[in-house]
Amino acid sequence: MFNSVHEVAVIDATMEWARYSNRFNELLGDDIEKYKAMKQEFPEDPEVVVISGSTSGIYEDEEWIDALVEKVSEYIEDDVPVLGLCFGHQVIAKAMGAEVVQMDEYEIGYRPIEIKGESEIFGGLDSVEYPFNTHQDKVTGMPEELEPIAATEMANQAFQHQEKPVYGVQFHPELTPPIKEKAIRTKDMPEEKKERLMREVNDANFDRAKRVLKIFENFFEEAKKHYSTASVGDRSISSERVVK
């Protein structure tokens, strides 16, 4: 688990998937508050927000997706620290005016990502890391407020807001091997490719990919710095909760 964080609101954008939802408790502690985006449950006046992945596409005509994008836009406007993972990355991008488009094929498996320049969210990591990806959508046409900070050959893999503690990562730092295996099994792709990808979900690759979990620690540290001098809306933040 990770230290130095204010009260954390996790917006879960999946359907009822206990194994995935519980993973955030394993990483961030049992005292986080979780909200179901599909039920249009969103935190009011949150201190720190983490947006999960999803099996849905950001461009789907769903009322809850529109409501989530609008709410995240409000959080960003109010200077709330926000971290988006995969679908959450795309939600932030859309809230900021970027486009999200479907690619011709899935980007899935342990792909090398190139970290470009310097960013606090990637502090302590190498210029090339190997996290797990599972997505068919990518962010394009980012506004100047969003700075691209990592990429693969196929897609943007991370961005940061130029002035606010807002970050998105396309990859999945949070997934365990069983969740990765399920993601592979449910994809519409040739069985031969699935079998190859399943073989890659091994202890060595998982241990190497775990390095990118550091983005949670880095994000929470940036939130802590932000709240040492800032306020959200009309209220100051004074919480000193620590996730053990």
Under 8 Å between Cβ of 21 and 61: no
Note the residue count of the chain: 244
Alpha helices in 187-232 (DSSP H): 191-200, 203-209, 214-229
Q: Report phi then psi at 229, rounded to 5.
A: -135, -5
Spot the catalytic one: 6, 47, 86, 221: 86
> Is 172 among the catalytic positions?
yes
> Is 86 among the catalytic positions?
yes
Spot the catalytic one: 174, 217, 221, 222: 174
Under 8 Å between Cβ of 50 and 8: yes
Q: Report phi then psi at 62, rounded to 5.
A: -125, 130
How are the residues of the chain apportioned to helix, strand and coil, as percentages rounded to the nearest 5?
Answer: 35, 25, 40
Spot the catalytic one: 6, 135, 161, 172: 172
Under 8 Å between Cβ of 37 and 64: yes
> Is 7 among the catalytic positions?
no
Instruction: Count other Cβ atoms within 10 Å, centred on residue 192.
Output: 8
Q: How far is CA 19 from CA 136, 175, 177, in A?
A: 22, 10, 11
Instruction: Return d(Cα 16, Cα 179) in angstroms, integer.
Output: 14
**Which one, of 193, 176, 207, 174, lies nearest residue 107 by Cα?**
193
Active-site positions?
A: 86, 172, 174
